[in-house]
């Protein structure tokens, strides 16, 4: 059956349609973008589905995004997406706003135990019995005109995403539906939390092996890399490769020749920023001790693996009772943060990352398990 497609290529048309969409209980949202040589995604298309039709918004022609921003923030309209982290980033860049409430069909599939982290095409096949054509995700979405294949692909995404919502919502209990929206709100909250560039050094592999003085250098290198990637709109590794960060902080080169010997150091970085990086390292290395960051904790020892496994079984058992994919229950990082809060002898504290219904249903069981392990 042919899909009814409506193009939106000017501000007035967008405003009129957004007003219409705000009268609906839900809309499906999708985006197509390019992100090859840039830090930020470049929007090539925004798709909206209302349950029967596909609306294709051309972001290269729209100048006033306020009506779409108002739709995104209208809490009376559920926004339906699939595996939406990058879509959220695109929408935020265009409108300055993020969608709420948010229903992610990939999450919903996990809550129904259909599958975890399912791709869109497979989910459409499993739930709707529709076989989608092979994707156009790698094509050039900034070209004009778009090909007929691109247009058809984008329109099908919008229409079937709305159909997916209808089918999945019917199968979800009201409790699970609320949990899907709760997880959607957390996805939005994560994107709203501004990452402090000065905190990124903690994520570098093996950073815990460095001294506090070396961590001071690593902190400044990571912060500079993040700020420059954003300012230049370049991928982080085009500014300074990730695997060069740790050896730079460890060895603290003081000349260009030594800098060039750093593992994974790109010659372009030396040409463009070498002198600046040497000065940055020198300044960071000479900071007084009171300005050094605290030492980072070592990873959990191998002995802790058995305890982590026990904690995971609590989530798995609860997932079986609720008919939810076990991967959705307790995240590995959350369990590790819980264990690190008091290992090896306690007391333990539930981490902030264990929120909402998961904290209510499993928080005390986790603490009881650790208390029992400590007594044993």
Which residue in 87, 89, 136, 226 is the catalytic one? 87
Tokens coding 189: 């909250």
87 is catalytic: yes
Torsion, Cα 251 256 260 266, to 10 degrees, reads: 110
Residue 55's SS3 state is strand
157 is catalytic: yes
Q: If we measure between CA atoms, which residue out of 287, 245, 285 comes closest to residue 264?
A: 245
State residue 153 phi and psi, 5-degree precision.
-60, -45
First to last CA, the chain: 65
Which residue in 50, 104, 136, 157 is the catalytic one? 157
CA distance 338 to 367: 9
The neighbour count for residue 309, using CB atoms within 10 Å, is: 10
Which residue in 26, 111, 153, 348 is the catalytic one? 153
30 is catalytic: yes
Sheet bearing 102-104, strands edge to edge: 4-8, 53-57, 42-49, 26-34, 78-81, 102-104
Which residue in 32, 163, 220, 226 is the catalytic one? 32
273 is catalytic: no
174 is catalytic: no
Which residue in 26, 30, 74, 136 is the catalytic one? 30
Give catalytic residues, as residue numbers. 30, 32, 87, 153, 157
């Amino acid at each position: 059956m042919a899909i009814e497609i409506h193009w939106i290529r000017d501000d007035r048309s967008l405003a009129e349609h957004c007003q219409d969409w705000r009268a609906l209980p839900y809309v499906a949202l999708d985006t197509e973008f390019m992100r090859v040589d840039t830090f930020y995604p470049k929007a090539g298309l925004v798709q909206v589905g209302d349950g029967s039709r596909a609306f294709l918004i051309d972001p290269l022609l729209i100048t006033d995004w306020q009506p779409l921003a108002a739709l995104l923030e209208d809490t009376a309209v559920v926004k339906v997406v699939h595996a939406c982290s990058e879509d959220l980033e695109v929408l935020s860049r265009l409108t300055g706003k993020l969608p709420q409430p948010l229903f992610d069909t990939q999450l919903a599939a996990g809550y129904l135990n259909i599958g975890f982290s399912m791709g869109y095409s497979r989910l459409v096949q499993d739930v709707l019995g529709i076989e989608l054509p092979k994707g156009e995700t790698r094509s050039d979405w900034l070209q004009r005109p778009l090909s007929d294949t691109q247009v058809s692909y984008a329109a099908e995404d919008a229409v079937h995403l709305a159909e997916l919502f209808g089918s999945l919502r019917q199968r979800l209990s009201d409790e699970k539906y609320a949990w899907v929206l709760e997880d959607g709100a957390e996805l939005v909250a994560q994107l709203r939390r501004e990452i402090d560039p000065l905190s990124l050094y903690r994520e570098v592999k093996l950073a815990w092996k460095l001294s506090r003085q070396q961590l001071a250098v690593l902190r400044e290198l990571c912060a500079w890399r993040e700020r420059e990637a954003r300012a230049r709109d370049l991928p982080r590794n085009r500014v300074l490769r990730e695997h060069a960060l740790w050896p730079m902080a460890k060895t603290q080169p003081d000349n260009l020749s030594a800098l060039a010997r750093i593992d994974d150091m790109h010659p372009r970085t030396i040409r463009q920023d070498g002198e600046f990086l040497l000065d940055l390292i020198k300044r960071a290395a000479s900071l007084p001790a009171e300005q050094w960051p605290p030492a980072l904790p070592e990873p959990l020892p191998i002995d802790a693996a058995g305890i982590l496994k026990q904690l995971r079984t609590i989530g798995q058992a609860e997932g079986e009772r609720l008919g939810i994919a076990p991967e959705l229950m307790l995240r590995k990082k959350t369990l590790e943060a819980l264990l690190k809060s008091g290992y090896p002898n306690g007391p333990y504290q539930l981490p902030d990352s264990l929120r909402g219904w998961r904290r209510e249903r499993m928080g005390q069981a986790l603490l009881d398990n650790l208390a029992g392990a400590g007594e044993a």
